[in-house]
Amino acid sequence: MNEASHHVVVVGAGFGGLEFTRALSGVPVRITMIDKRNHHLFQPLLYQVATTALATSEVAWPIRHLLRKRKDVTTLLANVNGVDRAGRRVLLDDGSAVAYDTLVLATGARHAYFGHDEWEPFAPGLKTLEDATTIRRRILMAFEQAERETDPEKRKAFLTLAIVGGGPTGVELAGTIAELARDTLRGEFRNIDTRQTRVVLIEAGDRILANFAPELSDYARKALERLGVEVELGHAVTRCDAEGVVFGDTVLPARTILWAAGVAASPAAEWLGAAADRAGRVLVEPDLTVPGSPEIFVIGDAAHVLRPDGKPVPGVAPAAKQAGWHVAATIKARLAGDTSPRPFRYKHDGDLATIGKRAAAIDFGWIKLTGWPAWWLWGIAHIYFLIGFRNRLAVSLSWLWIYVTGQRSARLITQGDNDKG
């Protein structure tokens, strides 16, 4: 590699892309960061924006601000629509291209509907700020429409919210929505009692939080049920439309459906013409490079790489950050003349999920925690990873206010959209 002129292009300013860029600080390369949005998003707390606990500015930060002190980094707001592997160029949707010597694709994931993309207008997923504000609007509008509805059955449908998928996002959404209905909004309406709201969590498997130990899954289910959430297990959803959702033999009239059941990778594999798994993740080499193109790395949710036990590395923030650091170390070694393969070794730090404002489940393998101690540890872990003192302080104060008063400050209905129902 020619140190003076080596150009690294990073596509995606998520956890993996930012960690990679930070780890290359001080290395004699030029870096171009490309993202289709101008902000980095702290996705683990996105559901709190959707459920009125946090404002958008508390979970997202301008990419240019985060990289303002890095004179070696150029940031571009652009949409990537392809990669010219032979010509070593990233292709943009305006017809231009950015040449690279090394390319790092950290393009994340999107929600997947298992072949039923027609369900998306009725059951939005949660991956972006736009998704979060759309979901927030639908949740709050459900109560507003129920307040005006005079037909008992239609009102009941407005006051029924279904969440599809019992992973951490589904569990966190269900618990927070239940508290919103039974605590925050209580007494604010005249024609409805928000405590009569039905929150139904639908999971196709035999337990929620399937990646956690069985006893923690059982704890989470019981904690949700104490909040009033109805947990439906063992039934896959077979229909979503403006009237409701069908699972098993049950037809559930619900005017608000939220999707937390599956994810698919970004189009990175299509851009590269590379082999992918069923979720669209690029089947990378053990060192995270693309087969046949050692100058291209794929990290985070866009990559399929196996752990020593044969299981795929999970699509979580710590995995993306570890991959970003690993690729940066590999490039440093290459610059120093060491081109030997460096297999990626993922260290799993544990699984965390919160259930409302006073309970959580944490599985570190060697120790398992539940209840309010787990909730406080979950909160500390998330605040620690937030970027900047102001954001840590803002989130801490918001959570403290909710914990003490039960009130959520971000209950504004904004942005009109073409909501179905």
CA 78 to CA 37: how far, in whole Å?
A: 8
Six token digits for residue 339: 């081109």
Helix (H, G, I), strand (E, B) or coil at 188: coil
Give the sign of the dihedral formed by CA 128, CA 129, CA 130, CA 133. positive
CB 292 within 8 A of CB 284: no
Indicate which residue of 19, 149, 172, 203 is catalytic: 172
Phi, psi of 262 (to 5 degrees): -170, 160
CA 90 to CA 290: how far, in whole Å?
A: 15
Six token digits for residue 368: 């398992």
CA 194 to CA 304: how far, in whole Å?
A: 44
CA 73 to CA 246: how far, in whole Å?
A: 49
Six token digits for residue 264: 């698919």
CA 385 to CA 391: how far, in whole Å?
A: 10
| 144 among known catalytic residues | no
CA 361 to CA 354: how far, in whole Å?
A: 6
At CA 13, angle to CA 295 and CA 316, rounded to 5? 90
CA 339 to CA 177: how far, in whole Å?
A: 51
Give the position of tokens 């020619």.
Answer: 2
Length of the chain equals 421
| HEC profile of 88-125 | CEEEECCCCEEECCEEEECCCEEECCCCCHHHCCCCCC
Q: CB count, 10 Å around CB of 230? A: 16
Select from 78, 14, 13 the least CA-distant residue to 43. 14
CB 83 within 8 A of CB 77: no
User: Any idea which residues carry the catalytic annotation?
Assistant: 172
